[in-house]
Structure 1
Amino acid sequence: MEKSFSRSSKIAQELKKNIAIIIQYFLKDPRFKIIITISEVIVSKDLSYAQVFVSFLETNEKLNVKKLLTLLNKASGYIRKILCKKLKLRIIPNIIFYHDDSLIKGNRISLLLNKLVRKT
């Protein structure tokens, strides 16, 4: 019988929760004045890498998103250091941040569908 949750998915959930706490409380950089939400964490099978998908509230310019992603990727070593203290894992994965724009795309699709319904 197959397990409903694998080890990597459990670790991904713990990483998601702890990285969100670290970003909110431990990163004191004044450039992180906006709200950062973590939508998903995907951990590789050997637990060496973690892809963290984040979305930013109140950003309209693409330059700001790119700048915030580079800042988060530069702070990933510090975040990993704090994760080493919080989690009792033999291997803490290297963290790579990616932008998750699914909310923006979903809003665009919803607006287009509403326009189509109004026209018919």
Structure 2
Amino acid sequence: MPSRDFKRTDRVGAELRRELALLVHAAVRDHGLPSVSVSDVEVTRDLDWATVWVTALQPERSTEAMKALKELAIEFRRELSRTMRLRRVPELRFKYDDSVDKGERIESLLRQDSARAAGTNEEDAED
């Protein structure tokens, strides 16, 4: 029997990510939430739980967005049961993906360091 390139959980996760991206975008627009996007969805092997990783464009308002998304999780699940062809839609757990925030922080630190190094090179050239 040939091995499958993608597991069922991967396929379900990808489909959930596409559908949830649309639902979250509509919720942001309708409820006046801070702008967020779905970065990834991880589904457990038994398809009972789906962890939805979310990033925010305004990291300082991420707690507000996460609280609202957790409250809307039941509504999202209900809508997914209508749109997806699954026997049972997994329960949704929303988690904040801070990898983008960490990347921006590292980038700003590197910019500061390179600017500082350029400033010391100019001072050395003047001496």
How high is the TM-score relative to the length of structure 1? 0.85
Aligned sequence identity (%)? 26
Check conservation: 2:59, 2:101, Cα contact below 8 A.
no
Unaligned runs of 5+ in 1: none
Gaps of 5+ in 2: 119-127
1:54 is aligned to 2:54: yes
CA distance in 2, matches of 1:117, 1:67: 35
Q: Deviations over 1:32-87 (max 9, x none)?
A: 1x321111100000000000010111342xxx322221211110000000000000
Aligned to 1:113: 110
Higher RCO (Cα < 8 Å, 6 or more apart): 1
TM-score scaled by structure 2?
A: 0.81
Displacement of 1:7: 0.4
RMSD: 1.8
- In the alignment of these two chains, the number of paired residues is 115
Q: Residues 25 and 37 of structure 2 are in contact (CA less than 8 Å); yes or no, is this contact kept in structure 1? A: no
Q: Which has a greater percent of helix?
A: 2
Aligned to 2:31: 29
Q: How many angstroms does 1:89 deviate by? A: 0.3
Contact 2:77–2:92 under 8 Å retained in 1: yes
